[in-house]
């Protein structure tokens, strides 16, 4: 088995506290941000920088969000990857296109400073290094146009987003290779808002109506465009890219048809285990998104996986090869969409970022799981 995380990481100590989204970007802020990043990467490398043993591997990731301020979250960090795009932060959320604001430029600056910290903290590191970004559908649902409408209302923008994102990711991965020469960049695309788009659950700014549902075949074509561009321009193989499209059966099939060779899904409440077995038999890499809220909670999730696997007729050894992807759901943001779930434009809380205790919970549980699989 392999252990990794969702691309977020809380700074281990409160060296700077939480800063406002409109941080001044002065010299003292930059020094503090540098210290945050260096500390975070050093501690993360200490946990995931080396495999535990032959049966238990780890995948080090480059955190895309440390949560030190509003610009240091996964959404703005992903937005600044869009090639040739500008934006700003308005009272109602992140906008694309009206010009670069100080907060947008701050997000770009923090990403660049993370790479500088990686040059030091990951010096001499050799192995996989996972880079994380939100997918085009989530970016379309979570952002707004200059008119105030969500970006998903502009079909032209929706068509362009996967190509702009792939171009920006390719440039970013080249920078990662330059700063950490021994790293083998991999990619995690988190596109969980695809389910809300497919169900027509995203509210308009007035909240009096919802945007029309986006057909699943159209969603698959957006993913296909993104994946094809990544493989062509980002120097990645299909196995280097993991797509997290939600655990909906139709979306998982669409992702596979679009060319995704690795899929991440949550086993919580997952009913289509036959599909999972079908994907596994087809050679699809499976990453189980687990909530490391505590040892007992994690054990319950893993037992659910083992039980479902047994019911399909598989033995313990067939559980080998799964990746555990640690992800902490944001429990402080209440349901904002019909049928549950949160609005992708909502500001995440700091508590939704992974911490050291989360990864340690997985690392402590791994040996017993490996022994179980071997038996």
**CATH code: domain of residue 245:** 3.20.20
Q: Looking at residue 241, what is its pLDDT?
A: 98
Q: Looking at residue 30, what is its pLDDT?
A: 55
Instruction: Give the H/E segment covering residue 217.
Output: helix 216-233
Could you give the 3-state DSSP secondary structure of residue 371?
helix
Confidence band, pLDDT 50/70/90 cuts, at residue 351? confident
Other CB atoms within 10 Å distance of the CB of residue 276: 23
* 197: containing domain: 2-374
pLDDT above 60 (res 27)? no
Q: Looking at residue 323, what is its pLDDT?
A: 95
pLDDT above 80 (res 221)? yes
Confidence band, pLDDT 50/70/90 cuts, at residue 95? very high
Which pLDDT tens digit goes with each residue over 307-321? 999 999 998 888 899
Average confidence (pLDDT) over 148-163:
95
Give me the percent of the chain exceeding a pLDDT of 90.
Answer: 73
Give the integer Cα–Cα distance in Å for 318 and 339: 35
**Angle at CA of residue 339, ends 334 and 342, nearest 5°:** 35
Confidence band, pLDDT 50/70/90 cuts, at residue 44? very high
Could you give the 3-state DSSP secondary structure of residue 155?
helix
pLDDT above 70 (res 293)? yes
pLDDT above 70 (res 15)? no
Closest CA to 247 of 232, 231, 263, 224: 263
Confidence band, pLDDT 50/70/90 cuts, at residue 21? very low
Pick the more confident residue, 14 or 123.
123
Give me the percent of the chain exceeding a pLDDT of 70.
Answer: 94
Give the integer Cα–Cα distance in Å for 277 and 272: 9
Q: Looking at residue 24, what is its pLDDT?
A: 42
Tell me how many domains the chain contains: 1
């Amino acid at each position: 088995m392999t252990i990794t995380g969702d691309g977020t990481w809380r700074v281990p100590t409160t060296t700077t506290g939480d800063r406002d989204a409109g941080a001044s970007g002065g010299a003292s802020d930059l020094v503090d941000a540098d210290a945050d990043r260096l500390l975070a990467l050093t501690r993360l490398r200490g946990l995931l920088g080396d495999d535990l043993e032959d049966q238990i591997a780890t995948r080090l990731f480059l955190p895309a969000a440390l949560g030190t301020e509003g610009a240091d979250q996964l959404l703005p960090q992903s937005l600044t990857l869009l090639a040739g795009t500008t934006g700003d932060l308005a009272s109602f959320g992140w906008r694309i296109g009206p010009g670069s604001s100080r907060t947008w430029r701050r997000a770009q600056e923090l990403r660049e400073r993370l790479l500088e910290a990686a040059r030091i903290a990951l010096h001499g590191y050799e192995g996989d290094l996972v880079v994380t970004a939100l997918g085009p559908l989530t970016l379309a649902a979570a952002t707004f146009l200059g008119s105030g409408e969500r970006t998903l209302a502009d079909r032209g923008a929706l068509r362009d987003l996967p190509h702009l994102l792939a171009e920006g990711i390719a440039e970013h991965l080249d920078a990662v290779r330059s700063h950490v020469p021994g790293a083998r960049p991999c990619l995690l695309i988190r596109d969980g808002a695809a389910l809300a788009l497919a169900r027509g659950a995203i509210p308009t700014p007035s909240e009096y109506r919802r945007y029309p549902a986006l057909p699943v075949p159209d969603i698959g074509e957006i993913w296909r465009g993104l994946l094809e561009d990544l493989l062509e321009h980002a120097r990645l193989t299909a196995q280097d890219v993991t797509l997290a499209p939600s655990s909906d059966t139709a979306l998982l099939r669409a992702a596979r048809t679009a060319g995704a060779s690795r899929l991440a899904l949550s086993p919580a409440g997952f009913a289509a285990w036959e599909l999972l077995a079908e994907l596994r038999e087809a050679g699809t890499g499976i990453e189980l998104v687990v909530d490391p809220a505590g040892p007992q909670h994690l054990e319950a999730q893993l037992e659910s996986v083992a039980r479902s696997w047994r019911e399909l007729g598989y033995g313990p050894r067939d559980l080998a090869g799964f990746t555990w992807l640690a992800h902490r759901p944001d429990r402080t943001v209440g349901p904002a969409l019909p049928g549950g779930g949160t609005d992708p434009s909502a500001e995440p809380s700091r508590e939704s970022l992974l911490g050291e205790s989360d990864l340690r919970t997985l690392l402590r549980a791994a040996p017993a799981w490996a022994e179980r699989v071997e038996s």
